[in-house]
Amino acid sequence: MTTSVIVGGSRGLGRFIAERFVERGDDVIVTSRSAEQANKVATELGGRARGLPLDLSQPTSIADALADIADVDNLVITATASPPNTLRDFSISDAITAVTVKLVGYTETVRVLHDRLTENAAVVIFGGVAIDRPYPGSTMVTAHNGGISALARTLAIEIAPHRVNAIHPGIVGDSPRWRDLPDHPALSRTPTGRLATMADVADATEFLLRNAAINAQDLNLSGGVLAT
């Protein structure tokens, strides 16, 4: 039986990926900062899903939170805490939380679960296209997405032979964050003439987990917008 852990699997892209893994028959562990939310989503997902409270903004609590997880075949970390944060109205607390979640929290999660990864297990961590396309208010997002890219490379060395890759979605048109903005300006700049979908992101995640030759790489999912 395949066990997939989706950190941040209670909403957005993480939840969609968890749904795909439940549908294919995996044992799926979805996390949320709230135990109530994690359990609610696991119930809604059905199958062999279960919820687990986990707060990456409190990295010293991660080891205890993950203590009852045994073997892990797929580890996907999508969690984020990155509201817009401009220099003009810079929130130091928001910045600290964002960087702690994405860099310290991601690293500690991989460290804690490393010795429970099965022989062919792989890890996918989530950044975003702001790594290459900054926008007003994205300073911390762009910075920690750059860190995600570096993290994928160094973790691939640290936990070899297990693989670690990073995925950087652009605007995902049918995600909860963007689906109410069907005419997003990015659409006109996208060579494919369509925004990425949650299905695209889930498919790419499965590819990175499955393909044994892909390691320490960044996968951009933006329909070629970086070429414009």
pLDDT (tens digit per residue) in 90-136: 999 999 999 999 999 999 999 999 999 999 999 999 999 999 898 88
pLDDT mean over 188-199: 88
Closest CA to 75 of 100, 47, 54, 98: 54
Q: How far apart are CA 64 and CA 47, in angstroms?
A: 26
Please say if the pLDDT value at position 187 is more than 90: no
Structural tokens at position 55: 């707060």
Within a domain: 222: no
Residues 6+ apart with CB under 8 A from 154: none
Q: Judge whether 221 and 170 are in contact, CB under 8 Å.
A: yes
Q: How far apart are CA 178 and CA 171, in angstroms?
A: 7
Task: Kindly state the average pLDDT of the residues 22-39.
Answer: 97
Nearest Cα to Cα of residue 112 among 155, 167, 82? 155
Residue 210 lies in a domain: yes
For residue 184, pLDDT beyond 80? no
| 207 belongs to a structural domain | yes
227 found inside a domain: no
Distance CA 119, CA 75 (A): 13
Domain contains 118: yes
Q: How many structural domains is the chain composed of?
A: 1
CA gap 46, 23 in Å, rounded: 9
What CATH number should be reported for the domain holding residue 78?
3.40.50.720
Segment 48-96, tens digit of pLDDT: 999 999 999 999 999 999 999 999 999 999 999 988 899 999 999 999 9
Would you say residue 185 has pLDDT above 90? no
In a domain, 17, yes or no: yes
- Note whether residue 223 is domain-resident: no
Domain that holds residue 88: 3-215
